[in-house]
Amino acid sequence: MRYTRLGRDGPVISNIGLGTLALSGAYGAVDPGDALRLIGRALDAGVSIVDTADLYDDGQVERLIGRAVASRRKEIVVCTRGSGTAQACEASLKRLDVDAIDLYYLRSPHRDAPVEESMAGLADLVRAGKVRHIGLSDGTLRQLREADAVHPVAALAVEYSLWGLRAQPGLLAEARRLGVSVVAARPVGRGFLTGRIRSADQLTPGDWRRRDPRFEPAGLRRGLDPLRAVEDVAARLDLGAGRLALGWLLSQGDHVVPVPSTRDEVHLEMNLAASEVRLAPGVRDELSRIFPPVTADQSGSLLI
């Protein structure tokens, strides 16, 4: 496992984290005992950043993480999202069973809403010792600047993968300029970039991916030719397509930290193996040209 720093002056973290949306049941049923073992396996493998949200399974995933990290709290950077109010933060603290949240994101503010008031409230939580670092989830370029002017933003969470960058043009460049880490959510395209999902018929009726236009039959058809091109590059490099997709994100800079989520320990091992992937600039650029760009306006809110 390789490591990097969170934001300008945050803790050193693994360059691949563990996302936890899959542990909420969003992609299919999950046994709580299996979920607990998977988190433990990730921590044993060197993962030191666990990323979640208060809305995942109505707070149950936060409770699960609290149990998983209880005996090794000092090793783990716990991240969660909420509305930014003191009440929401206190509820997350209780579910996580921690004294302070290492990284607390202001969750998906409305694109036209000013964020100064919410950030001022979060800054108060930092001063109170309830939160150590502040993040912004799915904000705009203007909101990132406004937020950072109130209090340093350690991380920006945005959907980011080969299959599409769900961010306003210029947002990631501004994050880099400000020294803000980019937490890449859905880094393997909700499983599409692994090559395992080629038909909507593979998804269970309650699967969250059925809400995503990219997983409708027409959307999947549009994605298959680019996916085959990615798989050709992966075969040339003797890598799995999912591992290559994560390696592409890591090649964007040390400030980019993918947080893939999975319910499966085998898939977890495959994801974490990408930590050591180093792509030549030519390969990185070749991959960048394969999928057409997708803007935030086309894809909607991150909703994580």
Active-site positions read: 56
The whole-angstrom distance between residue 146's C-alpha and the CA centroid of its chain comes to 22
E strands in 108-176: 131-137, 153-161, 164-165
- The residue type of 4 is T
Distance CA 51, CA 156 (A): 12
- In sequence order, what DSSP letters do the residues of 94-106 get, joined into one string? HHHT-SSEEEEEE
Distances from the Cα of 168 to the Cα of 86, 164, 300, angstroms: 29, 12, 11
**Per-residue buried b or exposed e for 73-90, using 16+ beta carbons within 10 Å of the residue's own CB:** eeebbbbbbbbbeeebbe
Distance CA 23, CA 37 (A): 11
E strands in the chain: 3-5, 12-14, 18-19, 49-51, 77-82, 101-107, 131-137, 153-161, 164-165, 181-185, 256-258
**Would you tell me how many other CB atoms lie within 10 Å of the CB of residue 265?**
13
